[in-house]
Amino acid sequence: MLKWAMIFLIIAIVAGIFGFFGIVSAAAGIAKVLFFLFLILFVITLITGRRSSV
């Protein structure tokens, strides 16, 4: 998921360089949503991850 967020971020940067501002806002929005979703799932995994029974 973090990989997809980075891909959309790169798309937004490249589109911004070439002046496609509609694509920039869409790609940046998607990248932001994916990044925050990744962070939430990462924190949940850390909290409920593998617990040793020792």
User: pLDDT per residue over 9-23, tens digit each?
Assistant: 888 889 889 888 888
User: Regarding predicted confidence, which is higher, 4 or 50?
Assistant: 4
- Compute the half-sphere exposure of residue 28: CA atoms within 13 Å on the CB side of its CA: 11
Question: 21 in a domain, yes or no?
Answer: yes
Question: 52 in a domain, yes or no?
Answer: no
Per 3-state DSSP, the chain is made up of helix, strand and coil in percentages (nearest 5) of: 85, 0, 15
pTM: 0.69
Question: 53 in a domain, yes or no?
Answer: no
Q: What is the pLDDT of residue 49?
A: 81
Give the domain extent around 23: 2-47
Into how many domains does the chain fold?
1
Question: 24 in a domain, yes or no?
Answer: yes
Question: 54 in a domain, yes or no?
Answer: no
Question: 25 in a domain, yes or no?
Answer: yes
User: pLDDT per residue over 18-49, tens digit each?
Assistant: 888 888 889 889 889 998 999 999 999 889 88
Q: Is the pLDDT of residue 52 over 80?
A: no
